Structure 1
């Protein structure tokens, strides 16, 4: 059941998304060679709580058998695709790290992801990150009333594959509202003809995960971290958007 949000509800989601975006601004200066991921997590948690929001990821389970997620942010380094641990690892020159932040503010959820380049990265690594950033924007641009959900994935897939990259298939975007994960599921691959027809008031998280190598994935023993099966690099960007008759609006901006 896809719930369409009223203008008032969209403003609640925008307020939550704004705190997510402000949290990124708070932590971005410390994401550089030598920083320990756990320290980034601590700063993000302090900022979120200071602004009257609550964290969403810490303690969450997607499956009953999973151990509770230990961090406030997800921190996925290099070949890690998503759900990486903000642990005692130290970022190194040339790394990339995807930081995913989720929170709830006055009952509404905010969720976004950015991939950061650590110091100077190789040109092919920078190109991967830029392709993932652009793929997200391509998906946002076609989030229009009358298009099917599948148009988002088909557009992302066509763009990424035209650049020589692959798109992760098992994980995708989602609806969002008072809960972090709501209908519909938003695939990042085609066909364009599948899924519900988008309508004004539909709020979606689009979050393409783009790999240098093959799209196949595997989950590590920690029960959370998803990485590329072939060990190649992966990059991800995510925004919360609302579909409107005047075009899509990004809700996860400062």
Structure 2
């Protein structure tokens, strides 16, 4: 069931959004050649404790997960694109790192993700990151009162196709509020003019993710990390947004 938020509730979600944004900004600054993924997880863990927030991930155990996640953020490197379980890995020059983070503060959850290059970039990696960011912007701009959810999916997919990428629709955007995942599901491709009509108070995480040369993924032996079947790299961008009568508001904006 889709739960629309009141204007007061949207305002109450702003501190959670600002906190998630601050953690991602700190993680992006921390990520460098020689830094261990477990160090990034510990930094996020410390920021959660210091803020009096709660992790949405550490005890998370959906049907597709092998076990409770056990960490507080997702770190996906190179051919991993989603749900990357942090492990004892030291970032190397040229790694493409995607970080996904959700947390609860004052009873409200927000969710966001970014991709960045560690050290020396490859042009093709910069391009796929750019594509997810452009698609995220297009999806957000389509999340206006009177449009349909299919318009958001179409806008994201249209960017992917313009860049020449295939789109996997198994995992995509979702409702956010008191919990991390709720209705509606927002695929990263779709048909314009289809689906539920967008109304004020809708709060969702929009999250395009693309792989350079495929749309097929498999689950790593860790039971969580999703990797491309052909070894090609991927990127992931995400914001939590609230639909208002005057347009979408990005709650996890990093400035």
TM-score, structure 1 normalization: 0.97
- Name the residue aligned to 2:27: 27
Q: Is the 8 A contact 2:65 2:224 kept in 1?
A: no
Aligned residues: 254
CA distance in 1, matches of 2:112, 2:196: 23
CA distance in 2, matches of 1:249, 1:96: 28
- Name the residue aligned to 2:3: 3
Q: Is the 8 A contact 2:201 2:242 kept in 1?
A: yes
RMSD over aligned CA atoms reads 1.2
Shift of 1:84: 0.4
- Name the residue aligned to 2:210: 210
Q: Is the 8 A contact 1:168 1:208 kept in 2?
A: no
- Name the residue aligned to 2:197: 197
2:34 alignment partner, SS class: coil
CA distance in 2, matches of 1:70, 1:52: 19
Structure 1 residue runs without a partner (length 5+): none
Asked if residue 141 in structure 1 is aligned to residue 141 in structure 2, the reply is yes
Structure 2 residue runs without a partner (length 5+): none
- Name the residue aligned to 2:240: 240
Name the stretch that deviates more: 180-189 or 64-73.
64-73
**Structure 1 runs (4+) greater than 4 angstroms displaced:** none
- Name the residue aligned to 1:78: 78
Q: Is the 8 A contact 1:167 1:208 kept in 2?
A: no
Equivalences for 1:72-221 in 2 at 5 Å?
A: 72-221=72-221
Shift of 1:66: 2.3
1:166 alignment partner, SS class: coil
CA distance in 2, matches of 1:117, 1:54: 28
Shift of 1:140: 0.4
TM-score, structure 2 normalization: 0.96
CA distance in 2, matches of 1:59, 1:65: 11
